[in-house]
Amino acid sequence: MAESNLLTSGFAAAATLATLVAGAADFTCDFSKGKWNPADWREVCSVRWDYKNPFQQFDDHIMNRCPEGVSDEEVYKKHVSSVYSSMVYAKKLKTKAEITCTMSFDHLMAPEIVIANDLFTDEKGRSVYHDHFEVVIFNEGFNVWRYQWKDGKTTWRKVAFLRMPFEPKTPYTVKVTLEKRKGTKELTVSCNGRTFGYADDLLPETFYAGICGCEGRCRFYDFKVKAGEAELTDAQAAAADGEH
């Protein structure tokens, strides 16, 4: 596939508007060249790395920028700390929300859907994550990581996982649902007919959602949001759970 570097801002100036669909917060974005609008997105940096690394545009997708002419294995072994790229849909969402993204990795890992409680600004004027969640695919399955910010430091912990094989250079469509059911905050992940869930009081009720590529060449083809549904009542949640 032919490629073209994004401008200094990290995006193509000629990109057209992404399509807004029914619903106040519903949104769909095709990352093909000329079919998405950078103004719909906010680039975000990790507090772990002191740089901004804009996505690179290809014909039918975008990719976290990685050293050119370097093998996938070398990127993984020697450049893992310098290939982080992330951005979020610029409008804040609320539960219930469904976020769907088609993504792939070239080697072993690790494209992600990011759920951020909020965004902050560092001393260089860059948007950064503090508390946030990452839903990651890699060659052995899914990991869900929870990042927390306290006293100027970030810590992270794996809070959920599902073991299933993912093949390199194969696009997968991943759906993440955040909702509140009977007072419990839940995150549900679905892909290729497999589903797993995770409950945590620290899951946000309002949040930014986006993508992140790191630890290798990660490609993103589209991104969709369906958002704004009300909390499930006890009766609705019981019916969905198969309770009588």
Residue range 114-154, pLDDT digits in tens: 999 999 999 899 999 999 999 999 999 999 999 999 988 98
More confident residue, 77 or 133: 133
- Angle CA(15)–CA(53)–CA(61) in degrees, nearest 5? 40
User: Long-range contacts: 143-148, Cβ < 8 Å, 24+?
Assistant: 144/187, 144/189, 144/198, 146/200, 146/202, 148/202
Domains and CATH numbers, the chain: 3-240 (2.60.120.560)
Instruction: Identify the band that residue 7 occupies on the pLDDT scale cut at 50, 70 and 90.
Output: very low
CB-side neighbour CA atoms (13 Å) of 185: 9
Q: If pLDDT is split at 50, 70 and 90, which confidence band does 189 have?
A: very high
Instruction: Provide the whole-model pTM.
Output: 0.83
Side chain identity, residue 188:
T
pLDDT at 229: 54
Distance CA 91, CA 78 (A): 35
* Higher per-residue confidence, 23 vs 112: 112
Tokens encoding 53: 């690394």
Q: Are 194 and 78 in contact (CB under 8 A)?
A: no
